[in-house]
Amino acid sequence: MDWQIKPLARECAVSGEPFEIGDEVICFLYRDEEGQLQRADVATSKVDDFPRPEAVLGRWGREVKPRGEDEREARAHALATTEELFLSLFESDSADVAEDRELFKQVLGLMLERKRILRSQGRPVDGQQSYLHVRSKVLYSVQSSDPDPASLVRIQEELNSLVF
């Protein structure tokens, strides 16, 4: 299974103003009050006005690119966004979404290993797989277990609104 993060929204989630080419945008992946997975794209100038939910899974930055970028660049952009999402999962520590965060880390880790962005470091030890982030040379430890199929289905259904 290969999940790709949807492209950047064309307007700010806080102000509703359209993004201009070259604008810097912060993307948030979080659970709303109803427990639904959501994504919000916010202009960097409006980040302080964004009501940060408690259950933020991750955040990353993007630059607004012109529409109609070629397919190859779009795939590279989606892969970079996926990589940034994976890395951001290690920065957030909300206990409300710890189980989801671990599942995201595991799935994204496997996907990024396949894309050669992460390199596994031997076999899992004590239920943890170590990955080397090739570019930064930083080691990341990810849960290594057989995910519950019901959890994978639940996450996949929630991601339908965020991924293509």
Q: In terms of C-beta density within 10 A (0-12 exposed, 13-18 middle, 19 or more buried), how is residue 97 classed?
A: buried
CA distance 57 to 104: 9
Kindly indicate the confidence band of residue 151, based on its pLDDT and cuts at 50, 70 and 90. Answer: confident
> What pLDDT is attached to residue 1?
44
CA distance 49 to 76: 30
Q: What is the pTM of this model?
A: 0.57
